[in-house]
A and B are shown apart, each in its own frame.
Chain A
Amino acid sequence: VQENRATSLDELATVVMSRLAPQSGYLDDVALLLYRQPAPLHLALGNVDDLAASRTELRSWLDRVGVGPEQALDVLIATGEALANAIEHGHRETPAEVSLLAIALADTLQLTVVDAGSWKEPDAEPSISRGRGLALMRALMHDVTIDTRTTGTTVHMHTRIG
Chain B
Amino acid sequence: MATPLHLSTERRDDGTTVLRAVGELDLSNTATLADALTAALSRRADGTPLLVDMARVGYLDSGAINVLYDHADSIELIVNPVLLGVLKISGLTEVATVTAAAPD
Residues of A within 8 A of B (CB): 48-53, 55-56, 69-70, 73-74, 76-77, 80-81, 84, 87-88, 128-129, 132-133, 135-136, 139-140
B90 touches A132 (CB 8 A): yes
A84 touches B61 (CB 8 A): yes
B89 touches A51 (CB 8 A): no
B61 touches A81 (CB 8 A): yes
A132 touches B59 (CB 8 A): no
Main secondary structure of the interface of A (DSSP, over half): helix
- Which of B14-22, B41-49, B62-70, B94-102 participates in binding chain A? B62-70
What's the count of A-B pairs with C-beta under 8 Å?
Answer: 73
Residues of chain A with a CB closer than 8 A to B76's CB: none
* Alpha-carbon gap, A151 to B21, bound state (A): 39
| Residue from A49, A88, A129 in contact with B3 in the complex, judged by beta carbons closer than 8 Å | A49
Residues of chain B with a CB closer than 8 A to A74's CB: 85-86
